[in-house]
Structure 1
Amino acid sequence: MRQWKCTVCGHLHQGKYPPENCPKCGADINRFILLEELPEALEKMLREAFAGESKAHMRNLSYAKVAVDEGYPQIAALFRAVAEAERVHAAEYLLFLQGVAGTTEENLKQAFESESSAEQSYYPPIIQEAFAQKRDDVAYAMVRARDVEQRHAQLYKEALNAMVNDRQVEYHVCQVCGYVFENQPPDECPVCRAPRAQFKKTG
């Protein structure tokens, strides 16, 4: 018997096909995903599609800013609308890539490992190449990103402990470099030196 999950409310349905509508929240059949591992080739394609849609989302937001700066508000509105559509696509693809979602504890451990890997393996060769090509601006942008990834890993580790203690935390994100600070933001970002006003509360 196959198991299907409503991506709106999380309701689980067993059967050959998903229901026409979720009995719990009313979502239609298209909001259900099959809780089975993807074939390797299809997973690879979905990962590429997710990356493409995510890039398109950010690219169109950038295009919208240029359009505003150049005095074309209607064109900017179009770019923002398409950017939102790309975000919707990326979010849907990510649901398939998650497959059978793990517990929050498992997800935190996976996120910690991913951030640690990025810090130790992904950024060092880019930083080295940027310095070699005498592009210190690129190198230091990557150094800041690497340091932020290190902070993310630390936060995931702390969040695992917070689960046990049921600790409530507010997060503030530096809009310049992405550094995440718990509770009250600092007067100055420890990575890029941006002032407190550049921190945005999330949640």
Structure 2
Amino acid sequence: MQHNLSDIQIDYNGDPLLEANLPDDPLVLFHHWFEQISATYNSQPNAMVLSTHGKNGFPQSRVVLLKGYSDQGFSFYTNYNSQKGKGIKKNHKVSLTFYWPELERQVRIEGLASKTTEQESDEYFNSRPLDSRISAIISDQSQNVPSRAYLDEKVERFRSDMQNNPPKRPVNWGGYIVAPVSVEFWQGRPNRLHDRILYKFKGEKWKKSRLAP
């Protein structure tokens, strides 16, 4: 079966991305873009594609949620024994991709992932709704399970054993922070002549350059 999708076309009309108007720090521009998409649209602007190295040599990508960003990097939370956790343990070089079609923008980040502090992981875990905390505890993420009923029954057993005690963060669950080494900003432009600005961290400061579309 073959499907030809060449008739799906869109013309981009984003505002120009000019070097003279850009900050020296990519986090400043990221924050500006993130504030714009958050204020204008009701989508999940913090959804990002995380790519890691799989043990079979193939890259592995999935959508996760950004839970914070600062001068130190971009943070998210997961099960450390999941595919992504095992991939990061083997190779801490990862990439993050944000795509915001409403503003015809994309941000690609390459960086080094490391675990957040236990205090940070505890604080985020305890801020989650109760059901989300229970799911994090009972799920052997990325492992084979016999059925959906198996998971539902596991949740109910855990609930009955809680005895009104708040669940604690399991040691195999917590955060990662990705310290960026490069950040590329992509702005859709007419006639596929898109604007691409690349920031690379060199010698204690960021250097920016323009890439061909």
TM-score (norm. length: structure 2): 0.25
Q: Counting strand residues as a fraction of each chain, which structure ranks higher?
A: 2
- Flag the structure with more relative contact order, 1 or 2, with Cα contacts below 8 A and sequence separation at least 6: 2
Q: Counting helix residues as a fraction of each chain, which structure ranks higher?
A: 1
